[in-house]
Structure 1
Amino acid sequence: MPRKTLIGTVVSNKMEKTIVVSVTRTHVHPFYGKTIKTTKKYHADDPEGLAGMGDTVEIEECKPLSKMKRFKLIRVLKKDIYTGDIPETPEDVEGAFGGEK
């Protein structure tokens, strides 16, 4: 039986060797026929710490590694451009609004 692979977005990488991946699926309601979005979070093993917040990753089902971890990171499909805080100084903020008052 093939292993389940999912593609999702990393929403947390604060734990050591673990990431939380949010997977969004769409399906049609059986009676109303409306398209519904369903989101589920999975804990995945990331031993080398390759994935960061906002990255699109592929995870694969594996044996239970802990109480919550049932998936492992296969590869990072797309790195997120925004990876940290934007340092703002008072000079930058004043300059952005057209100078001094």
Structure 2
Amino acid sequence: MPKRILQGPVVSNKGDKTVVVRIDRSFKHPLLKKVVRRSKKYHAHDESNQYNVGDTVLIRECPPKSKLKRWEVVTAEEAAAASEARSESEQATVN
């Protein structure tokens, strides 16, 4: 099963090798039919402490690294490689 990848801004980087990322989602309320916005904060592992507050990052699921950390920050190179592999697999299924 593929790992989920989410994108959002860093809201805190005070922990060592940890960033807190806010993920926003919006959905239509089933009864009121209004668009409702909700956000959730995820603790993600940042091995090199390179991300600061305000940076937009990609995070993906990983095995637990601590009590709160179940996500890790995806670097730009890893994100590019994953999207490239995904597009190649889509082309293979079309042909």
Instruction: Check whether TM > 0.5.
Output: yes
Q: Which runs of 5+ in 2 are unaligned?
A: 77-95
Q: Secondary structure at the match of 1:67?
A: coil
- One-letter amino acid of the counterpart of residue 72, structure 1: E
TM-score w.r.t. the length of structure 2 is: 0.77
TM-score w.r.t. the length of structure 1 is: 0.73
- The structure with the larger Rg is 1
The percentage of aligned residue pairs carrying the same residue is: 46
- For each residue in 1:45-83, what CA deviation from the matched residue of structure 2 results, as whole angstroms up to 9, or x when unmatched? 00101211000000000001000000000036xxxxxxx
RMSD, matched Cα: 0.9
Query: Hey, which of these two has a bigger chunk of helix by percent?
Result: 2
1:24 maps onto 2:36 in alignment:
no
Runs of 4+ in 1 over 2 A off after TM superposition: none
Count of aligned pairs between the two proteins: 76
Q: Which runs of 5+ in 1 are unaligned?
A: 77-101
